[in-house]
Homo-oligomer: A and B are copies of this chain.
Amino acid sequence: MIDLVKNYSSMVRRTKVSAIRELLKYKDMPGLISFAGGFPSSDLFPSEQLKEIGIKVMTEMPEVMLQYAGTGGYMPLKEEIIKFMARHGSNLEPENILITTGGQQGIDLPTKIFVDINDPVFVEIPSYVGALNSLASTGAKFIGIPMDENGIITDKLEEEIKRLISIGEHYKLLYTVPDYQNPSGVSISLERRKKLVELAKKYNFIILEDCPYTYLRYDGEEKPSLFKLSNSENVLGLYSFSKILSPGLRLGWVCGHKDIIRKLEILKQSVDVCCSTLIQGVVAEYMKMNLLESHIGDVVKEYKVKKDLMLKMLSENMPEGVTWTKPSGGLFLWVTLPEYIDSESMLKKAIEHKVTFVPGYAFHHNSEMRNCLRINFSYPTLEQIEKGVKSLAEVIKCEIH
């Protein structure tokens, strides 16, 4: 028998299982209500339109759709993304864009080109587990920055930067989800956005601005992206079609400085060569027909109803001592229980009561925040939200003393 321990690299020891992906095994358990995943609602997929477009591109140019694409991306898709981003205030050229295999690759590739083992990386407390796992596998040393209701506390960030400078450390990168953060649902205020960009320029670091939920805005005004505020210099904008169209397509894009995009493209050559031409062709045509923005409008309408219902059910059912965020967009909200409750052990009881969530520790770089949990409102039906929040409240009541 082969001795695998001898052969595995150190990356294996650094790479963690995704707590969320592992919870997927409960997804199809009969009667279970899942608040755990970050799945978009399956009812909303524009499947008829995508099917018709699939027929069109496979009829008109099958030899293009089934052949390799360029590593940077299928040019007609880049052109549509340029138009889309221009409507949201960013002016891009094709060389500013890399098409990625879902939003996750948009996180993972930059991680690889910026982070060496033991490089300090700034992350929010809490932060997106998929980004924490990518960074951990690359060898990042996490520097957690606390958040409040206005997002990442930029004064605390500057303190940490100064501390690192004083000990001669080589900081390079900050990862943030500025809009309706996963997991907290919190957005960064305009003032803090300006400060973040200022700090990045002053102290010469890169911001990975992850925007999978940016266009899922239910209340309030659109805030300018860090990418836009920085004139693209210190910021890579990470976008995904997963939440605004379909995750089964596995498509996203990164926009940023041409030099950085080129480095990402060269790395992608050896990672997976290119994204599916067929999928890129379908999405390009979908955008060209001006269907994406109206679809986002439909999604926003339905998710707002779900979010409002979940907030109402939480108010009506949660016992005293439990608090939660009130997001104005995205897919998630963040519940804080009394300090003495451990949400990971509570999850087992919740599954017995046919409801799941993701325990808070999964979103903390040191597995803290054990009294918190993330719940999702996009995937469950309205009926499931009503029933699920009631069950969850029952489970929590049993834990409170």
Contact in complex: A104, B206 (CB < 8 Å) = no
The oligomer's copy count stands at 2
Contact in complex: A3, B272 (CB < 8 Å) = no
Contact in complex: B267, A137 (CB < 8 Å) = yes
Contact in complex: B18, A47 (CB < 8 Å) = no
Contact in complex: B18, A39 (CB < 8 Å) = no
A234 contacts across to B, CB distance below 8 A: 2
Q: Return the contact of A50 from the options B66, B134, B259 (Cβ within 8 A).
A: B66
**Docked CA distance A54–B61 (Å):** 15
Residue of B nearest to A103 (CB): B273
Q: Which residues of chain A in 228-272 are interfacial with respect to chain B, using CB atoms and an 8 Å cutoff?
A: 233-234, 242, 246-250, 257, 259-260, 263, 266-267, 269-272
Q: Which residues of chain A in 1-30 are interfacial with respect to chain B, using CB atoms and an 8 Å cutoff?
A: 1-4, 6-12, 15-18, 21, 24
Contact in complex: A15, B270 (CB < 8 Å) = yes
Given contacts A15-B267, A58-B54, A69-B248, contact A119 B9 (CB under 8 A): yes
**Docked CA distance A25–B272 (Å):** 19
A37 contacts across to B, CB distance below 8 A: 68
Q: Mark A185-224, 1 if CB is under 8 A from B, else 0.
A: 0000000000000000100111000000000000000000
**Docked CA distance A155–B201 (Å):** 57
- Asked if A105 is at the interface (CB within 8 A of a chain B CB), the reply is yes
A42 contacts across to B, CB distance below 8 A: 63, 66-67
Contact in complex: A66, B248 (CB < 8 Å) = yes
Contact in complex: A248, B9 (CB < 8 Å) = no
A278 contacts across to B, CB distance below 8 A: 248-249, 279
State the Cβ distance, A160 to closest chain B Cβ, in Å.
17
Residue of B nearest to A112 (CB): B11
**Docked CA distance A260–B275 (Å):** 25
Given contacts A11-B267, A70-B24, A269-B133, contact A248 B2 (CB under 8 A): no
State the Cβ distance, A238 to closest chain B Cβ, in Å.
13
Contact in complex: A71, B12 (CB < 8 Å) = no
- Asked if A182 is at the interface (CB within 8 A of a chain B CB), the reply is no
- Asked if A115 is at the interface (CB within 8 A of a chain B CB), the reply is yes
- Asked if A305 is at the interface (CB within 8 A of a chain B CB), the reply is no
Q: Mark A70-97, 1 if CB is under 8 A from B, else 0.
A: 1100000000000000000000000000
Contact in complex: A134, B7 (CB < 8 Å) = no
Given contacts A2-B257, A276-B279, contact A133 B250 (CB under 8 A): no
- Asked if A164 is at the interface (CB within 8 A of a chain B CB), the reply is no
- Asked if A55 is at the interface (CB within 8 A of a chain B CB), the reply is yes
Given contacts A113-B8, A204-B6, contact A248 B45 (CB under 8 A): no
Given contacts A2-B234, A51-B62, A269-B21, contact A246 B67 (CB under 8 A): yes
Q: Return the contact of A269 from the options B3, B8, B18, B270 (Cβ within 8 A).
A: B18
**Docked CA distance A81–B278 (Å):** 22
Q: Mark A96-127, 1 if CB is under 8 A from B, else 0.
A: 00000110110010001111100100000000
**Docked CA distance A279–B282 (Å):** 12
A247 contacts across to B, CB distance below 8 A: 66-68, 273
A64 contacts across to B, CB distance below 8 A: 248
- Asked if A65 is at the interface (CB within 8 A of a chain B CB), the reply is yes
Known: A7-B205, A12-B267, A16-B266. 18 other contacts (CB 8 A): A6-B204, A7-B172, A8-B114, A9-B113, A11-B112, A21-B71, A42-B63, A47-B66, A51-B54, A55-B55, A69-B248, A101-B272, A102-B272, A108-B271, A133-B269, A248-B276, A249-B276, A250-B276
